[in-house]
Structure 1
Protein backbone atom coordinates (compact mmCIF):
# COMPACT_ATOMS: atom_id res chain seq x y z
CA UNK A 1 0.00 0.00 0.00
CA UNK A 2 1.30 3.41 -0.87
CA UNK A 3 1.10 6.26 1.59
CA UNK A 4 1.07 9.97 1.02
CA UNK A 5 1.77 11.38 4.46
CA UNK A 6 -0.26 14.50 3.71
CA UNK A 7 -3.46 12.59 2.83
CA UNK A 8 -2.97 9.17 4.45
CA UNK A 9 -3.14 5.76 2.79
CA UNK A 10 -4.57 5.74 -0.74
CA UNK A 11 -6.79 2.87 0.35
CA UNK A 12 -8.97 5.46 2.12
CA UNK A 13 -9.62 7.42 -1.07
CA UNK A 14 -10.18 4.55 -3.51
CA UNK A 15 -13.79 3.32 -3.64
CA UNK A 16 -14.38 -0.41 -3.24
CA UNK A 17 -15.77 -2.43 -6.12
CA UNK A 18 -19.54 -1.99 -6.08
CA UNK A 19 -21.39 -5.13 -5.05
CA UNK A 20 -24.47 -3.78 -3.29
CA UNK A 21 -27.58 -1.71 -3.95
CA UNK A 22 -28.86 0.62 -1.23
CA UNK A 23 -32.48 1.68 -1.14
CA UNK A 24 -35.17 2.87 1.24
CA UNK A 25 -38.82 1.88 1.52
CA UNK A 26 -41.23 4.21 3.28
CA UNK A 27 -44.23 3.00 5.25
CA UNK A 28 -46.60 5.97 5.12
CA UNK A 29 -49.32 5.61 7.74
CA UNK A 30 -52.35 7.88 7.75
CA UNK A 31 -54.52 8.97 10.67
CA UNK A 32 -56.77 5.92 10.19
CA UNK A 33 -53.90 3.41 10.42
CA UNK A 34 -53.85 2.71 6.69
CA UNK A 35 -50.66 2.46 4.63
CA UNK A 36 -49.92 3.89 1.21
CA UNK A 37 -49.24 1.39 -1.58
CA UNK A 38 -48.62 1.97 -5.27
CA UNK A 39 -49.62 -0.34 -8.10
CA UNK A 40 -46.52 -0.88 -10.25
CA UNK A 41 -47.05 -1.60 -13.95
CA UNK A 42 -45.45 -5.02 -13.39
CA UNK A 43 -48.48 -5.94 -11.25
CA UNK A 44 -46.92 -5.73 -7.79
CA UNK A 45 -47.92 -3.36 -5.00
CA UNK A 46 -45.16 -1.39 -3.35
CA UNK A 47 -44.30 1.20 -0.76
CA UNK A 48 -42.91 4.54 -1.91
CA UNK A 49 -39.14 4.45 -2.01
CA UNK A 50 -36.08 3.99 -4.13
CA UNK A 51 -32.34 4.29 -4.28
CA UNK A 52 -30.32 6.38 -1.86
CA UNK A 53 -28.31 8.91 -3.86
CA UNK A 54 -24.53 8.57 -3.66
CA UNK A 55 -24.22 12.23 -2.66
CA UNK A 56 -23.85 12.08 1.12
CA UNK A 57 -27.66 11.85 1.35
CA UNK A 58 -28.91 10.43 4.64
CA UNK A 59 -31.41 7.57 4.65
CA UNK A 60 -34.07 9.85 6.16
CA UNK A 61 -33.40 12.50 3.50
CA UNK A 62 -33.67 9.87 0.76
CA UNK A 63 -36.98 8.66 2.22
CA UNK A 64 -38.42 12.19 2.27
CA UNK A 65 -37.13 12.87 -1.27
CA UNK A 66 -38.47 9.62 -2.72
CA UNK A 67 -41.86 10.16 -1.07
CA UNK A 68 -42.08 13.68 -2.54
CA UNK A 69 -40.86 12.59 -5.99
CA UNK A 70 -43.16 9.58 -6.23
CA UNK A 71 -46.35 10.84 -4.55
CA UNK A 72 -46.13 14.61 -4.15
CA UNK A 73 -46.51 14.14 -0.37
CA UNK A 74 -44.08 16.31 1.58
CA UNK A 75 -42.54 15.45 4.95
CA UNK A 76 -39.56 16.91 6.72
CA UNK A 77 -36.49 14.71 7.08
CA UNK A 78 -36.89 14.95 10.88
CA UNK A 79 -40.33 13.29 10.59
CA UNK A 80 -38.83 10.13 9.07
CA UNK A 81 -38.12 7.28 11.49
CA UNK A 82 -35.64 4.77 10.07
CA UNK A 83 -36.33 1.60 12.03
CA UNK A 84 -34.58 -1.32 10.32
CA UNK A 85 -32.14 -2.55 7.72
CA UNK A 86 -32.97 -5.60 5.61
CA UNK A 87 -30.40 -7.51 3.60
CA UNK A 88 -30.96 -10.12 0.92
CA UNK A 89 -29.15 -11.14 -2.26
CA UNK A 90 -30.67 -10.94 -5.73
CA UNK A 91 -28.71 -12.00 -8.81
CA UNK A 92 -25.43 -12.02 -6.88
CA UNK A 93 -25.90 -8.42 -5.66
CA UNK A 94 -26.38 -7.56 -2.01
CA UNK A 95 -29.65 -5.65 -1.69
CA UNK A 96 -29.80 -3.43 1.38
CA UNK A 97 -33.25 -2.01 2.04
CA UNK A 98 -33.58 0.57 4.76
CA UNK A 99 -37.03 0.63 6.33
CA UNK A 100 -38.58 3.94 7.30
CA UNK A 101 -41.97 5.07 8.58
CA UNK A 102 -43.71 8.44 8.48
CA UNK A 103 -47.11 9.36 9.83
CA UNK A 104 -49.32 11.74 7.87
CA UNK A 105 -52.75 12.45 9.35
CA UNK A 106 -54.10 13.18 5.84
CA UNK A 107 -52.78 13.39 2.34
CA UNK A 108 -53.77 12.90 -1.26
CA UNK A 109 -50.98 11.15 -3.17
CA UNK A 110 -50.48 11.94 -6.84
CA UNK A 111 -49.22 9.62 -9.55
CA UNK A 112 -46.10 11.60 -10.47
CA UNK A 113 -44.32 8.75 -12.28
CA UNK A 114 -47.04 7.23 -14.48
CA UNK A 115 -44.46 5.20 -16.39
CA UNK A 116 -43.88 3.22 -13.15
CA UNK A 117 -46.95 3.52 -10.91
CA UNK A 118 -50.56 3.49 -12.15
CA UNK A 119 -52.24 4.35 -8.83
CA UNK A 120 -51.58 5.07 -5.15
CA UNK A 121 -54.02 3.66 -2.62
CA UNK A 122 -54.49 4.00 1.14
CA UNK A 123 -54.92 0.42 2.33
CA UNK A 124 -56.09 -1.07 5.61
CA UNK A 125 -53.53 -3.44 7.12
CA UNK A 126 -56.02 -6.33 7.03
CA UNK A 127 -56.65 -5.73 3.30
CA UNK A 128 -53.12 -5.64 1.86
CA UNK A 129 -53.25 -6.43 -1.87
CA UNK A 130 -51.16 -9.14 -3.48
CA UNK A 131 -48.62 -9.59 -4.83
CA UNK A 132 -46.41 -7.24 -2.85
CA UNK A 133 -43.00 -6.19 -4.17
CA UNK A 134 -40.54 -8.34 -2.17
CA UNK A 135 -38.63 -5.47 -0.46
CA UNK A 136 -41.95 -3.81 0.46
CA UNK A 137 -43.25 -7.07 1.94
CA UNK A 138 -40.01 -7.47 3.90
CA UNK A 139 -40.30 -3.92 5.27
CA UNK A 140 -43.98 -4.32 6.20
CA UNK A 141 -43.20 -7.63 7.95
CA UNK A 142 -40.38 -5.98 9.91
CA UNK A 143 -42.63 -3.04 10.83
CA UNK A 144 -45.61 -5.16 11.88
CA UNK A 145 -44.72 -8.84 12.38
CA UNK A 146 -48.30 -9.55 13.48
CA UNK A 147 -49.48 -9.03 9.88
CA UNK A 148 -48.42 -12.62 9.18
CA UNK A 149 -46.76 -11.79 5.86
CA UNK A 150 -44.38 -14.40 4.46
CA UNK A 151 -41.95 -12.41 2.32
CA UNK A 152 -38.75 -13.92 0.95
CA UNK A 153 -36.19 -14.27 3.72
CA UNK A 154 -33.98 -11.32 4.56
CA UNK A 155 -31.58 -10.60 7.36
CA UNK A 156 -33.12 -8.02 9.66
CA UNK A 157 -31.23 -5.52 11.78
CA UNK A 158 -33.45 -3.33 13.93
CA UNK A 159 -32.34 0.25 14.49
CA UNK A 160 -32.80 1.61 17.99
CA UNK A 161 -35.23 4.54 18.36
CA UNK A 162 -33.48 7.88 18.29
CA UNK A 163 -30.53 6.46 16.33
CA UNK A 164 -32.13 6.69 12.89
CA UNK A 165 -31.42 10.29 11.92
CA UNK A 166 -27.87 9.61 10.71
Structure 2
Protein backbone atom coordinates (compact mmCIF):
# COMPACT_ATOMS: atom_id res chain seq x y z
CA UNK A 1 0.00 0.00 0.00
CA UNK A 2 1.38 3.38 -0.95
CA UNK A 3 1.22 6.23 1.51
CA UNK A 4 -0.14 9.54 0.28
CA UNK A 5 0.34 12.88 2.03
CA UNK A 6 -3.26 12.77 3.26
CA UNK A 7 -2.61 9.37 4.90
CA UNK A 8 0.29 10.74 6.97
CA UNK A 9 -1.49 13.92 8.08
CA UNK A 10 -3.82 11.91 10.29
CA UNK A 11 -0.93 10.34 12.21
CA UNK A 12 0.09 11.64 15.59
CA UNK A 13 2.97 14.05 15.03
CA UNK A 14 3.92 14.40 18.70
CA UNK A 15 6.94 12.41 19.86
CA UNK A 16 6.09 9.27 21.84
CA UNK A 17 6.27 9.23 25.61
CA UNK A 18 9.60 7.86 26.81
CA UNK A 19 9.27 4.16 27.48
CA UNK A 20 12.88 3.04 27.30
CA UNK A 21 16.33 4.12 28.45
CA UNK A 22 19.52 3.05 26.68
CA UNK A 23 22.80 3.09 28.59
CA UNK A 24 26.25 1.55 28.64
CA UNK A 25 28.31 0.19 31.51
CA UNK A 26 32.05 0.06 30.87
CA UNK A 27 34.21 -2.63 32.46
CA UNK A 28 37.64 -1.01 32.53
CA UNK A 29 40.36 -3.51 33.33
CA UNK A 30 44.01 -2.65 33.94
CA UNK A 31 47.12 -4.69 33.16
CA UNK A 32 46.91 -6.28 36.63
CA UNK A 33 43.39 -7.62 35.98
CA UNK A 34 41.68 -5.14 38.31
CA UNK A 35 38.45 -3.33 37.42
CA UNK A 36 37.65 0.33 37.92
CA UNK A 37 34.75 1.14 40.27
CA UNK A 38 33.48 4.48 41.50
CA UNK A 39 31.92 5.18 44.88
CA UNK A 40 28.65 7.03 44.27
CA UNK A 41 27.45 9.46 46.94
CA UNK A 42 24.31 7.29 47.17
CA UNK A 43 26.45 4.54 48.70
CA UNK A 44 26.81 2.13 45.78
CA UNK A 45 29.86 1.21 43.73
CA UNK A 46 29.52 1.47 39.98
CA UNK A 47 31.23 1.11 36.67
CA UNK A 48 31.84 4.16 34.53
CA UNK A 49 28.95 4.60 32.12
CA UNK A 50 25.69 6.31 31.44
CA UNK A 51 23.08 7.04 28.84
CA UNK A 52 23.74 6.87 25.13
CA UNK A 53 23.17 10.33 23.65
CA UNK A 54 20.12 10.59 21.36
CA UNK A 55 22.31 11.42 18.38
CA UNK A 56 24.18 9.23 15.96
CA UNK A 57 26.47 8.06 18.78
CA UNK A 58 27.38 4.37 18.73
CA UNK A 59 27.54 2.28 21.90
CA UNK A 60 31.36 2.25 21.69
CA UNK A 61 31.42 6.04 21.22
CA UNK A 62 29.11 6.47 24.23
CA UNK A 63 31.44 4.25 26.29
CA UNK A 64 34.45 6.39 25.27
CA UNK A 65 32.60 9.64 26.04
CA UNK A 66 31.28 8.46 29.41
CA UNK A 67 34.71 7.14 30.43
CA UNK A 68 36.33 10.46 29.52
CA UNK A 69 33.61 12.56 31.18
CA UNK A 70 33.54 10.54 34.41
CA UNK A 71 37.21 9.58 34.89
CA UNK A 72 39.33 11.65 32.52
CA UNK A 73 40.60 8.41 30.92
CA UNK A 74 41.04 8.49 27.15
CA UNK A 75 40.56 5.40 24.97
CA UNK A 76 39.64 4.98 21.32
CA UNK A 77 36.29 3.59 20.21
CA UNK A 78 38.14 0.86 18.32
CA UNK A 79 39.45 -0.51 21.64
CA UNK A 80 35.96 -0.86 23.17
CA UNK A 81 34.35 -4.30 22.90
CA UNK A 82 30.57 -4.39 23.31
CA UNK A 83 29.80 -7.85 24.67
CA UNK A 84 26.21 -7.94 25.98
CA UNK A 85 22.79 -6.36 26.00
CA UNK A 86 20.82 -6.50 29.25
CA UNK A 87 17.15 -5.66 29.61
CA UNK A 88 15.05 -5.10 32.70
CA UNK A 89 12.19 -2.82 33.73
CA UNK A 90 12.49 -0.19 36.45
CA UNK A 91 9.60 2.10 37.36
CA UNK A 92 7.70 1.12 34.21
CA UNK A 93 10.60 2.08 31.94
CA UNK A 94 12.36 -0.52 29.83
CA UNK A 95 16.04 -0.25 30.68
CA UNK A 96 18.53 -1.55 28.12
CA UNK A 97 22.10 -1.60 29.36
CA UNK A 98 24.90 -2.44 26.98
CA UNK A 99 27.96 -4.09 28.49
CA UNK A 100 31.27 -2.86 27.09
CA UNK A 101 34.84 -3.66 28.05
CA UNK A 102 38.17 -2.00 27.52
CA UNK A 103 41.65 -2.76 28.81
CA UNK A 104 44.15 -0.06 29.70
CA UNK A 105 47.83 -0.68 30.41
CA UNK A 106 47.86 1.61 33.42
CA UNK A 107 45.83 4.66 34.23
CA UNK A 108 45.07 7.15 36.97
CA UNK A 109 41.38 8.01 36.91
CA UNK A 110 40.28 11.38 38.27
CA UNK A 111 37.05 12.35 39.98
CA UNK A 112 35.63 14.69 37.35
CA UNK A 113 32.05 14.69 38.63
CA UNK A 114 32.47 15.18 42.40
CA UNK A 115 28.75 15.80 42.83
CA UNK A 116 28.20 12.13 41.83
CA UNK A 117 31.36 10.12 42.55
CA UNK A 118 33.64 10.55 45.58
CA UNK A 119 36.46 8.25 44.42
CA UNK A 120 37.55 5.86 41.68
CA UNK A 121 39.29 2.68 42.78
CA UNK A 122 41.03 -0.19 41.01
CA UNK A 123 39.62 -3.35 42.58
CA UNK A 124 40.65 -6.99 42.33
CA UNK A 125 37.95 -9.36 41.12
CA UNK A 126 38.28 -11.29 44.38
CA UNK A 127 37.49 -8.17 46.44
CA UNK A 128 34.59 -6.41 44.72
CA UNK A 129 32.98 -3.97 47.16
CA UNK A 130 29.28 -3.70 47.82
CA UNK A 131 26.69 -2.77 47.35
CA UNK A 132 27.01 -2.56 43.59
CA UNK A 133 24.74 -0.30 41.53
CA UNK A 134 22.20 -2.71 39.96
CA UNK A 135 23.06 -2.06 36.26
CA UNK A 136 26.80 -2.34 37.07
CA UNK A 137 26.21 -5.64 38.87
CA UNK A 138 24.27 -6.91 35.84
CA UNK A 139 27.05 -5.90 33.44
CA UNK A 140 29.78 -7.42 35.64
CA UNK A 141 27.79 -10.68 35.98
CA UNK A 142 27.41 -10.90 32.19
CA UNK A 143 31.11 -10.14 31.73
CA UNK A 144 32.28 -12.72 34.27
CA UNK A 145 29.51 -15.17 35.27
CA UNK A 146 32.07 -17.11 37.31
CA UNK A 147 32.20 -14.26 39.86
CA UNK A 148 28.71 -15.12 41.21
CA UNK A 149 27.72 -11.47 41.58
CA UNK A 150 24.33 -10.91 43.18
CA UNK A 151 22.21 -8.76 40.86
CA UNK A 152 18.60 -8.05 39.94
CA UNK A 153 17.27 -10.34 37.22
CA UNK A 154 17.70 -9.16 33.65
CA UNK A 155 17.25 -10.63 30.22
CA UNK A 156 20.69 -11.07 28.69
CA UNK A 157 21.80 -11.32 25.09
CA UNK A 158 25.49 -12.03 24.66
CA UNK A 159 26.93 -10.21 21.65
CA UNK A 160 30.53 -11.40 22.02
CA UNK A 161 32.42 -13.83 24.21
CA UNK A 162 33.38 -11.84 27.32
CA UNK A 163 36.79 -13.54 27.33
CA UNK A 164 37.64 -12.30 23.82
CA UNK A 165 39.99 -9.38 24.00
CA UNK A 166 39.91 -9.18 27.79
Instruction: Tell me the TM-score normalized by structure 2.
Output: 0.89
Which whole-Å CA distance do the structure 1 matches of 2:88 and 2:132 have between them? 16
Moved over 3 A (4+): 8-11, 13-17
In structure 2, what is the Cα distance between the partners aligned to 1:38 and 1:50?
Answer: 13
Q: Which residue matches 2:164?
A: none
Q: Distance in 1 between matches of 2:110 and 2:65?
A: 15
1:81 maps to what in 2? 81
Match of 1:94 in 2: 94
How many residues of Structure 1 are paired with residues of Structure 2 in the alignment?
Answer: 158
Partner-residue secondary structure (3-state), 1:63? helix
Structure 1: 5+ residue stretches without partners: 162-166
Cα RMSD of the aligned pairs, angstroms, is: 2.1
Q: Which residue of 1 aligns with 2:127?
A: 127
Tell me, in whole angstroms, the C-alpha distance in 2 between the residues paired with 1:61 and 1:17.
Answer: 26
Q: Does the CA-based 8 Å contact 1:48-1:67 persist in structure 2?
A: yes
2:137 maps to what in 1? 137
Q: Distance in 1 between matches of 2:71 and 2:43?
A: 18
CA distance in 1, matches of 2:158, 2:33: 22
User: 5+ residue gaps in structure 2?
Assistant: 162-166
Question: Kindly tell me: are residues 78 and 130 of structure 1, through their superposed partners in 2, closer, same or farther at Cα, counting changes over 3 Å?
Answer: same
Secondary structure of the residue that 1:118 maps to in structure 2? strand
When residues 4 and 77 of structure 1 are mapped into structure 2, their CA distance, relative to the original with a 3 A threshold, is: farther
Residues 16-31 of structure 1: pairs in structure 2 closer than 5 A: 16-31=16-31
Aligned counterparts, 1:25-64, within 5 A: 25-64=25-64
3-state SS of paired residue (1:57): coil
